[in-house]
Amino acid sequence: MPSPESFPRIAVALGFSTPEKLLEHARREVVSGETFLEFRLDCLDEPEQGVGVIRGLLAAYPDATILATCRRHQNHGRFNGSVEEQIRILDAAVAAGSRAIDIEIETAEAATTKLELFRGRARLLLSYHNYEGTPALETVLRRMLRVPADAYKVVTTARKPSDNLRVLALARAHPRVPLMALAMGEIGFPSRVLSPVFGGLYTYAAPSAAEGTAAGQVSARQLRHLYRTEKLSRDARVYGVIADPVRHSISPAVHNRAFQARRMDAVYLPFLVQPAQLKDFMTMAESLPVAGFSVTIPHKQKIVRYLDIVEPLARRIGAVNTVWRRAGKWRGANTDAPGITVPLSKHLRLARASILVVGNGGAARSAAFALADAGATLAITGRNPDRVRALAKACGAEPVLRDQAAVRTFDALVHATSLGMCPNVNEIFFPERIPASVVFDMVYNPLDTLLIRRAREQGAEVVQGIEMFLEQATRQFEIWTGDSAPRAAMQKAALEALAGSGEPIMNSK
């Protein structure tokens, strides 16, 4: 009987209401190469029927490792029977070939002597689940270790970024305890990827063709091929993006592909950081440690106060989108700025150009300062004249109302509002003529926005937002790694992610 240490690093959790569905999804996973499946028998309308499924699956695929569990509703499962009935079902699951069973600590404490039934027949995993938060984990582990078992599983809910660090630190602090520790929820997603890296026995994935059994799960394919959970070493460098929301970011697809292309022992994670949690994230980033990260809405301005060194252009813009640590100091830069000037300068000489910036948010600010630095003659427009005037004053540009701008002709227009972005694809700032010969739309989802299509029809040259995205992303890669960025691989990953060939980033329920 294999020890828990020799189990595969990824378990696919299967919870379905009928035995047919459970078997169908289990088969699908095994056929696609998965060998470690958790059967949530309590999710079946009749949990006993899972025993037949175990037998049927193992008859066809004897190498599969099945971990059976039948969690009681008192412990957030769906099984309504007694502890005795729960043990009876798990006993039948072991007789059918389950190599391991998971029993909640609450049941184990109530029926310690009955656990003897499994000795020598299956590996016993004791589990602790907390759906409210992440309590003092040493206390939890002490409680669990009082009941002898082959392995222990601590699953909490992340309420703030540093909860990731706390669950991961638990596994690292107890290298002799066979332990699986992670935090559920979107905030806890990094712990799912990093759990095996920090010494955890394995991590959980959702089935590839159905919802997972817990919030924050992604498919085994994503864990293996996008985040490369199994390949990362203990010393892997951790990068990521901080945002709220973060789930639709294409940056994990792009940067992980880049690390893979350069064969780097590094991973890039989506960190959900709510506006009030930036300080907590920085505390976590210091200790995890995080080597560098991208910053996006709503943190680009506020991050500046947590940095030791900020590059001059970023300081003038007042926004940082790239952070990294060198010699113990947090440093910040703004790669959105070259993301605008580099693609645009392929179409015209910036120093001689008259350029209209549309918008007055963070991205418009980056454009305005970068283009002013490059010597362009700038005008700024937007829907809020007061904010437009304030930005224009800050960077020496001319504030113009939309109607005034509409009747002029600029060499280039840089669109920096969210108009036209999915799902509002029919929105456009200039509904009639677009007043420029080169039109740059920062919006990249969809690739061909209404603005880009109209500009083409009008005979203008166009710059798609994806060019900016790639420029800023490749510069981030170079800052972080000191290596040249694999641009073609990054572009392919970005286009695939935008085309939706990627899966949603995680299960949120």
Residues noted as catalytic:
129, 153, 300, 336
**Residue 336 lies near ligand NAP (rule: CB under 6 A):** yes
Q: Work out whether 443 is an interface residue with ligand NAP (CB under 6 A).
A: yes
297 sits near ligand NAP (criterion: CB under 6 A): yes
Crossing angle of helices 362-373 and 385-395, rounded to 10°: 30
> Starting from the edge strand earliest in sequence, which strands make up the sheet with 309-310, in order?
266-272, 237-243, 290-295, 322-326, 329-333, 309-310
Tokens found for residue 290: 């995080």
Instruction: Tell which one of 306, 330, 469, 480 touches ligand NAP (CB under 6 A).
Output: 469
CA dihedral 490, 494, 499, 502 (to 10 degrees): 80
Residue nearest to ligand NAP (CB): 361
| Ramachandran class of 127: left when φ > 0, alpha when ψ lies in -120 to 50, beta otherwise | beta
Taking residue 115's Cβ as centre, other Cβ atoms within 10 Å add up to 18
Smaller CB separation from ligand NAP, 36 or 469: 469
State the DSSP H helix or E strand holding residue 199, giving kind and residue range, or none if neither: none
Q: Does 379 bind ligand NAP (CB under 6 A)?
A: no
User: 322 in helix, strand or coil?
Assistant: strand
CB proximity list for 117: less than 8 A, separation 6 or greater: 87, 91
**Which listed residue (90, 419, 462, 494) binds ligand NAP by CB under 6 A?**
419
Verify binding: residue 425, ligand NAP, rule CB under 6 A: no
Q: Contact with ligand NAP (CB under 6 A): which of 363, 438, 463, 494? A: 363
Tokens describing residue 215: 């919030």
344 belongs to the binding site for ligand NAP (CB under 6 A): no
Alpha-carbon span 332 to 306, nearest angstrom: 10
Regarding 77 and contact with ligand NAP (CB under 6 A), the answer is no
Residue 465 in the binding site for ligand NAP (CB under 6 A): yes
- Rank residues 68 and 416 by Cβ distance to ligand NAP and give the closer one: 416
Q: In this structure, which amino acid lies at residue 157?
A: T
For position 189 contacting ligand NAP by CB under 6 A, the verdict is: no
Residue 418 in the binding site for ligand NAP (CB under 6 A):
yes
> 112, 384, 404, 409: which one contacts ligand NAP (CB under 6 A)?
384
On the CB side of 325, CA atoms within 13 Å amount to 16
Tell the smallest beta-carbon distance from residue 498 to ligand NAP (Å).
11
Strand-pair partners of 378: 355
Binding of ligand NAP by 417 (CB under 6 A): yes
Interaction between residue 292 and ligand NAP (CB under 6 A): no
Peptide bond just before 504 cis, omega within 30 deg: no
Query: Binders of ligand NAP: how many residues, by CB under 6 A?
Result: 25
Can you tell me which of 154, 206, 442, 455 binds ligand NAP, judged by CB under 6 A? Answer: 442
Q: Is 252 in the site for ligand NAP (CB under 6 A)?
A: no
List residues binding ligand NAP (CB under 6 A): 297, 336, 339, 359-364, 382-384, 387, 416-419, 421, 442-444, 465, 468-469, 472
